[in-house]
Amino acid sequence: MQTTLDAYDTPAPDHLRDHPKHWRNRKAGHHWRTHDEEFDASKLGMWLFLTTEVLLFAGIFCGYAVFRLLYPEAWANGSHYLDWRFGGLNTVILLISSWTVANAVRCAQLNNQKWLRINLIITLICAALFVWIKLQFEYMPKLGEGKAPGTFFSYPFAQDAHEPLWWSLYYVGTGIHALHVFIGAGLLGWVLYRSWKYEAYGPTEYTMVENSALYWHLVDLVWIFLFPLLYLIH
């Protein structure tokens, strides 16, 4: 299998040859023996952080399971209020963005600066599309009809007394997920900026690309479960 070693001898552009932020001039922290150790430790730290994120969403999934068992009618009605086409479209958008961000890591590993940026830009466009679809076709029409969480609920045609509870869970689940989309897009935007300005990422220095990509994949993972739970199971 190809490794980052294969791409190590690619030339650096003249204006960045001596820039401290260019990937070739980055040194490992003084408390690390090698770049590799720093990279591995950083990645393990990211994974530990991701496990806490999984546990955060586990609370929402557990709440979903408990309420679903207690109030099956409200949950069946709830999923019928949602249109799977918007959820499905957003799933496809997130999967494609996950693929482009995985490609961005690959391009950083191979010192392909141009395609690193193109992949990141496509990912950011996907993030914007996801949020736009969510707001334009889901949150806005639903809130307009009064399908709001908890005491804000004012939809007059509800059929089950626990439907406000369903909407609470729906908005908390998808809302926290959307917050993660914003944070992930912010991280990737930062990576794009530094890549654009300093060519900061390359075969020996791509920790930030890798960790931001891991975060973005987690956003995708959560949606992989939220989509069937909210839209398909009835």
Given candidates 23, 120, 164, 202, which one binds other proteins under the rule CB under 8 A?
164
Look up residue 78 and give its DSSP letter. Answer: H
**Closer CB to other proteins, residue 66 or residue 193?**
66
Beta bridge partners of 202: 205
Task: Select from 10-18, 54-62, 133-141, 185-193 the region that touches other proteins (CB under 8 A).
Answer: 54-62
Q: How far apart are CA 109 and CA 4, in angstroms?
A: 6
**Closer CB to other proteins, residue 6 or residue 193?**
6
Given candidates 18, 62, 136, 186, which one binds other proteins under the rule CB under 8 A?
62
Given candidates 13, 21, 83, 95, which one binds other proteins under the rule CB under 8 A?
95
* Side-chain-facing half-sphere of 193: CA atoms under 13 Å: 6
Is residue 217 at the binding interface for other proteins, with CB under 8 A as the rule?
yes
**Closer CB to other proteins, residue 10 or residue 193?**
10
- Crossing angle of helices 163-198 and 72-81, in 10° steps, is 50
Do the beta carbons of residue 46 and residue 36 sit within 8 Å? no
Is residue 138 at the binding interface for other proteins, with CB under 8 A as the rule?
no
- Give how far the C-alpha of residue 177 lies from the chain's centroid of Cα atoms, to the nearest Å: 8
- Crossing angle of helices 84-109 and 163-198, in 10° steps, is 20
**Closer CB to other proteins, residue 64 or residue 139?**
64
Q: In the window 108-137, what residues touch other proteins (CB under 8 A)?
A: 109-110
Q: How far apart are CA 55 and CA 22, in angstroms?
A: 37
Task: Select from 14-22, 57-65, 177-185, 191-199 the region that touches other proteins (CB under 8 A).
Answer: 57-65
Is residue 144 at the binding interface for other proteins, with CB under 8 A as the rule?
no
Do the beta carbons of residue 155 and residue 145 sit within 8 Å? yes
Is residue 232 at the binding interface for other proteins, with CB under 8 A as the rule?
yes
Q: In the window 183-212, what residues touch other proteins (CB under 8 A)?
A: 203-204
- List, as one string, the DSSP characters of 156-210: TT--STTHHHHHHHHHHHHHHHHHHHHHHHHHHHHHHHHHHHH---BTTB-HHHH
Given candidates 13, 88, 175, 186, which one binds other proteins under the rule CB under 8 A?
88
Q: How far apart are CA 181 and CA 137, in angstroms?
A: 17
Task: Select from 15-23, 60-68, 125-133, 183-191 the region that touches other proteins (CB under 8 A).
Answer: 60-68
Is residue 56 at the binding interface for other proteins, with CB under 8 A as the rule?
no
Task: Select from 121-129, 134-142, 183-191, 222-230 the region that touches other proteins (CB under 8 A).
Answer: 222-230
Is residue 33 at the binding interface for other proteins, with CB under 8 A as the rule?
yes
Q: How far apart are CA 96 and CA 162, in angstroms?
A: 36
